[in-house]
Structure 1
Amino acid sequence: MTDYDVLRVFCGPHGDRGNELGVVREGSDVPDEGERQALAAKLGFSETVFVDDPERGVIDIYTPTTRLPFAGHPCVGTAWLLDVPELVTPAGVVGARLDGEFTWIEARPEWAPPRTLREYGSAAEVEKLQVPPPGEWIYAWAWEDAAAGRVRARGFPGRNDGIDEDEATGAAALLLTAHLHRALNITQGKGSQILTAPQPEGLIEVGGRVRLT
């Protein structure tokens, strides 16, 4: 069996919750794209990362069913694990930095896979939502405190791959931040925390806590 690390990304204030991420540090152990896809499906994480060059931060990202040019929580988790200033993804170069308990990445919203941003009237409505049938990728959100930028959100991938709900989704947070044009403090899933902040030249920072399981 190929060796891999399991991280929890976008943990809550007490270090709990977060979205699990598989990271294969020796990507050369699984060089073929088909083999990588098969391993990602077998592991069953919402995303699995293969590190092709740890010093340069070259990575390759897979869901259980498809390869992604960019994804938020894999980049945040891998940046923390490798402690590098940038990651090289098929979508582009992702800036990275560590700041106390938070790991931040800097990316462009157009790199994120498509998501349907669906606003609700209250956080309670979002919390009561049932998992929708397979179809579009839905990011359901509502203001908890608009003045403070606090958002309640849940992510529904809409795929038939066993991942009915994403506990924390950096790419969707990136898109929501671009849509609202402001910094956000997002509580997603069962208590994961994602922080975002617009930056110059169309870039957006996404940050969170990472733990090794």
Structure 2
Amino acid sequence: MNAAVTDYDVLRVFCAANGGYGNELGVVRDGSVLPDPDGRQAFAAKLGFGGTVFVDDPERGVIDICTPTLRLPFAGIPCVGTAWLLDVPELVTPAGVVGARQDGEFTWIEARAQWSRPHTLRRYGSPAEVDDLPVPPKGERVYAWAWEDEAAGRVRARGFPGRDDGIDEDEATGAAALLLTDRLGRALNITQGAGSQLLTAPQPRGWVELGGRVLLER
């Protein structure tokens, strides 16, 4: 790994209204300093965030997404966070072109649910049931959810990545939010984890918008 790579931003994506919660994301704005895929993977593992983005063309929004253990063609948090940081109208990912826009305090992307990693979407009868859930067995990627207010589209959710990358529970899961929105066919206001907020809205021809607040940590 290139030890000289130290210039990266740390964002928190899908924050609550008070600026708390959300998931950390690393972004290397100049991906050319570490062009080798194995080196990028090692650097992402060293940082230890759920996602690290390498920007290969900041003007066109070309990005490469890595977790500590693998490269992803698409992921919600990396795309929302990088769209906010670069302020570009689109991102180019291996999965396809992701639309992006800013709307007040929220950054939105537009993607296809099938680009997301598979999750078991498991509905429960009440938010309290979701809150009381234990961590599922290793290997099962579960997005547990319940209606807080069905008429208003308010959802309580928790994300369990099956201990992937050593994580028992995910504070915010953009990919699963896309999948749930695609299944329900309606806009959602999701509170996940300890207090992260994710907004979604289905769009024509199989697209889904995903929005949230982003803060720069350093």
Q: Same fold (TM over 0.5)?
A: yes
Which amino acid in the other structure matches residue 19 of structure 1? Answer: N
* Structure 1 residue 128, shift from structure 2 partner: 1.3
Aligned to 2:38: 34
- Once the two structures are superposed, the pairs formed by residues 1-213 of structure 1 within 5 Å of their partners are 1-2=4-5, 3-213=7-217
CA distance in 1, matches of 2:66, 2:168: 17
**Of 12-21 and 156-165, the range deviating more from structure 2:** 156-165
* Structure 1 residue 105, shift from structure 2 partner: 0.2
Aligned identity (percent) is 78
Which amino acid in the other structure matches residue 185 of structure 2? Answer: H
Give the alignment's TM-score, normalised by structure 1: 0.98
CA distance in 1, matches of 2:161, 2:121: 12
SS in 2 for 1:35: helix
* Structure 1 residue 160, shift from structure 2 partner: 4.5
Which amino acid in the other structure matches residue 192 of structure 1? Answer: S
Which amino acid in the other structure matches residue 188 of structure 2? Answer: L
Unaligned runs of 5+ residues in structure 1 are: none
CA distance in 1, matches of 2:202, 2:158: 21
* Structure 1 residue 161, shift from structure 2 partner: 2.1
Which amino acid in the other structure matches residue 140 of structure 1? Answer: A
Alignment root-mean-square deviation, CA: 0.9
CA deviation string 1:29-81 (max 9, x = no partner): 11111111111111111111111100000001111111100000110000000
CA distance in 2, matches of 1:174, 1:212: 24
SS in 2 for 1:161: helix
Runs (4+) of structure 1 exceeding 4 A deviation are none
Unaligned runs of 5+ residues in structure 2 are: none
Distance 1:16 1:96, change over 3 A: same
CA distance in 2, matches of 1:127, 1:116: 17
